Amino acid sequence: MSENKKPEKITHVKGMNDILPAEAPLWELFENTVHSVLKSYGFQKIVTPIVEDTALFKRAIGAVTDIVEKEMYSFTDAMNGDALTLRPEGTAGVVRSVIEHNLAYDGPKRVWYKGPMFRHEKMQAGRYRQFFQVGAEAIGFAGPDIDAEMIMLCRRLWDDLGLENIRLELNSIGDAPERHRHRADLIAYFEAHIDQLDLEAKNRLHANPLRILDTKNPAMQELVNNAPKLLDYLEAESIAHFDGVRRILDHNNIPYTVNPRLVRGLDYYNRTVFEWVTDQLGAQGTVCAGGRYDPLIESFGGKSTPAVGFAMGIERLIMLMKSAGEMADPGVCDVYMVHQGAAAQMQAFVLAERIRDAGLDVVLHCAAASGPGSFKNQMKKADGSGAAFAVILGDDEIANATAVVKAMREVDKDKQQASVPFDEVVDYLVDQIVGGHDHDHDHVHYHH
Ligand code: ATP
Ligand code: MG
């Protein structure tokens, strides 16, 4: 038996990705931008658990959907036998929470959420098993105005993110009676062409024929294109609602195309549905999808409450940001503390805290596996850190109660290095980093 066999490496679960530090600034840029856009439209954050009762998703999403049929991470809680599921999307949990806490009964609410979603899908570029969404729900609003507002919110976000080439596709899927009549004709149409349906479509023919329109099978595209169009079945109220959305979009110069085949993957939608699509990501081109879901809350035992929402896939948007050459502040520190000797180390801790009190970012040199590091080694680290200044402490500095403050990025030779009494180090750095105009202080969070 080999006692010193190397332990086997454990790797990530397929389809569930790490977001590494090098990528984090771009994610932060995205998140900060979307937060401020949501805030500028009056949306408030809501956080719901990642795990919910399996029954919640079955009811909200519908039994005959990709998600519920084959994509959910469902499990039995070993402690008490509860049937639980990792959330595959965000709306169900938000709606549950809104009903449970009576959030929308004293007037309509605009809320947003963000976080990981889980779907056991076939993996492709842009399609993962854990992925992140930002979504928004406007609950208690009945008119076309809020539908248009949510679409315009997305448009503003793409602009703020510097993303071009995301186009809007729009449709109305009407209300239940209209869908019912369309459904009967749709089934009849597909039955008349049964030989052209693939197995999945055949299985859905009677359970959820609308979903067949969603097919990605190239062989079925022509058949689906010629199928009866739900838009032709809409009656006065649905038409008026759809026209209302379009009027606001037109008035605000928001371009869109009406796509009669757009039906959305989830069961609870009615009337307005929309998708934001790009051609830059291959087959996974939908970056945001949304629509109205007026019947959902009542079907959950809540008071009848109309609502509309959208969800966007963050990974796909990050890919677009990358291909647009979007750069994010890498988040370098302001100051790197270099020290040699026990007394200098103690003083370095004290000074570093004081500098942080003033709102600057400080990296204090700490010992690596190879030891505390020579002066030369620490200066190399300071340089690599991207810090604007190194603060250097050794035996001499301790004896004189002064620190050497060295400009690491300074072009002006006079300012390269100064001996600064301990008591004045903070003011000196603040003055140099925040006060001067010849520095790049994008990353300084100094506030007074
Ligand atoms: P698709 O048709 O691509 O499967 P969907 O209709 O299942 O999309 P939604 O449930 O509407 O997707 O989710 C909203 C958005 O979340 C999508 O437009 C997409 O940007 C993103 N998204 C959905 N599933 C995934 C996934 N598995 N990996 C990465 N992003 C995803
Ligand atoms: Mg899907």
249 shares its domain with 349: no
Query: Where is pLDDT greater, at 109 or 410?
Result: 109
Mutation test of ligand 1: which of 131, 150, 310 has the most ligand atoms closer than 8 Å to its C-beta? 131
What is the rounded CA–CA span in Å between residue 366 and residue 273?
54
User: Residue 5: inside a domain, yes or no?
Assistant: no
213 in contact with ligand 1, CB cutoff 6 A: no
Task: Specify whether 319 is located in the same domain as 344.
Answer: no
201 lies in some domain: no
DSSP secondary-structure letter at 46?
-
> Is residue 7 one of the residues assigned to a domain?
no
Instruction: Return the structure tokens found at 135.
Output: 């979504």
- Atom from ligand 1 closest to the CA of residue 66: 7
**Which ligand is the nearest neighbour of the Cα of 70?**
2
Q: What's the 121 CA to ligand 2 centre distance in angstroms?
A: 8
Cβ distance 39 to 157 under 8 Å? no
Confidence at 447, pLDDT banded by 50, 70, 90: very low
**Residues whose CB is less than 8 angstroms from the CB of residue 201 and which lie 6 or more positions away in sequence, other chains included:** 190, 212, 215, 217, 220
Handedness of CA 86, 88, 92, 94 (dihedral sign): positive
- E strand residue ranges, 296-429: 307-313, 335-339, 362-364, 389-393, 402-407, 417-421
Beta pairing class for 307-313 and 51-53: unpaired
Mean pLDDT of all residues belonging to the chain: 91
> Could you list the residue range(s) of the whole structural domain that residue 160 is in?
24-175+235-323
Question: Among all chains, which residue has been given the structure tokens 């500095």?
Answer: 397
Which of 323, 349, 364 terminates a domain? The answer is 323
Q: 1: pLDDT confidence band, cut at 50, 70 and 90?
A: low
Tokens representing residue 382 in the block? 């300071």
In tens, the pLDDT along 408-424 reads 986 655 668 999 999 99
Distance 289 CA to ligand 2 centre (A): 11
**Pair (37, 127) in one structural domain:** yes
**Ligand 1 atom at shortest distance from the alpha carbon of 216:** 2
What is the sign, positive or negative, of the torsion defined by CA atoms of 289, 60, 71, 136?
Answer: positive
Same domain, 316 and 422: no
Taking the C-alpha atoms of residue 118 and residue 230, their distance in angstroms, rounded to an integer, is 31
- Tell me: do 351 and 276 sit in the same domain: no
Which strand (E) or helix (H) includes residue 114?
strand 109-118
Answer yes or no: do 87 and 53 share one domain.
yes
Tell whether 28 and 71 lie within a shared domain.
yes
Token pair belonging to 122: 């076939």
Q: Structure tokens of 46?
A: 């809501």
Q: Are residues 80 and 162 in the same domain?
A: yes
How far does CA 33 lie from the centroid of its chain?
Answer: 11
Instruction: Give residue 313 CA to ligand 1 midpoint distance, Å.
Output: 6
Whether residue 91 has its Cβ less than 6 Å from ligand 1: no
Nearest CA to ligand 1 atom 22: 313
Sheet with 109-118: strands ordered across: 44-45, 109-118, 130-139, 307-313, 286-292, 270-277, 167-172, 257-258
Ligand minimally distant from the alpha carbon of residue 166: 1
The CA-atom distances, in angstroms, between 143 and each of 41, 54, 100, 193 are 17, 32, 24, 39
- Within a domain: residue 3? no
188 has a pLDDT exceeding 60: yes
Pocket flag, ligand 1, residue 310 (CB < 6 Å): no
Q: What is the pLDDT of residues 25-54, one digit of tens each?
A: 999 999 999 999 999 999 999 999 999 999
Q: What is the pLDDT of residue 444?
A: 43
Contact 271, 294 (CB under 8 A): yes
Split into its structural domains, the chain has a count of 2
Point out the ligand 1 atom lying closest to the alpha carbon of residue 128: 28
pLDDT for 69 beyond 70: yes
Q: Is 68 in the pocket of ligand 1 (CB under 6 A)?
A: no
Ligand 1 mutation target, pool 158, 278, 286, most atoms within 8 A of CB: 286
| Cβ of 287 below 6 Å from ligand 1 | yes
Q: How confident is the model at residue 438 (pLDDT cuts 50, 70, 90)?
A: very low
* CATH code assigned at 46: 3.30.930.10
DSSP 159-199: HHTT----EEEEEE---HHHHHHHHHHHHHHHHHTGGG--H
For residue 165, which phi and psi values (nearest 5 degrees)?
65, 30
Looking at residue 429, its pLDDT comes to 95
Name the least confident of 101-105, 342-346, 382-386. Answer: 101-105
- CA of 274 from ligand 2 middle (Å) equals 15
Q: pTM, whole model, 2 decimals?
A: 0.88
59 and 299 in contact (C-beta within 8 Å)? yes
Rounded to the nearest angstrom, the distance between the alpha carbon of 321 and the centre of ligand 1 is 18
Structure tokens at 303: 């008071």
Same domain, 119 and 88: yes
Q: What residues pair up with 403 in beta bridges, in sequence order?
A: 420
The answer to whether residue 447 is domain-embedded is no
Residues 252 and 361 grouped into a single domain = no
| Number of the ligand 1 atom closest to the C-alpha atom of 288 | 18
Q: Two tokens at 261?
A: 């085949």
**Residue 2: per-residue pLDDT:** 56
- Answer with the one of 288, 323, 358 that is the final residue of a domain: 323
Q: Which of 433, 434, 435 is nearest to 388 (CA)?
A: 433
Residue 384 lies in a domain: yes
- Domain holding 392: CATH number? 3.40.50.800
Whole-angstrom distance, CA of residue 420 vs CA of residue 335:
15
- The finding on whether 135 has its CB within 6 A of some atom of ligand 1 is no
pLDDT confidence band for 331 (50 / 70 / 90)? confident
What is residue 204's predicted lDDT score, i.e. its pLDDT? 87
Beta pairing, strands 362-364 & 335-339: parallel
Do the domain assignments include residue 66? Answer: yes
360 and 274 in a common domain: no
Q: What is the DSSP letter of 45?
A: E
Residue 437 has pLDDT above 80, yes or no: no
Looking only at the bridges linking them, the beta strands covering 286-292 and 130-139 are unpaired
User: What is the arithmetic mean of pLDDT over 147-164?
Assistant: 97
Given a cut of 90, whether residue 216 has pLDDT beyond it is no
Query: Distance from the CA of 362 to the center of ligand 2, in angstroms?
Result: 44
Q: How many angstroms does the Cα of residue 292 sit away from the middle of ligand 1? A: 17
Domain boundary among 274, 291, 323: 323
Question: Is 379 found in the same domain as 273?
Answer: no
| Residue 220 resides in a domain | no
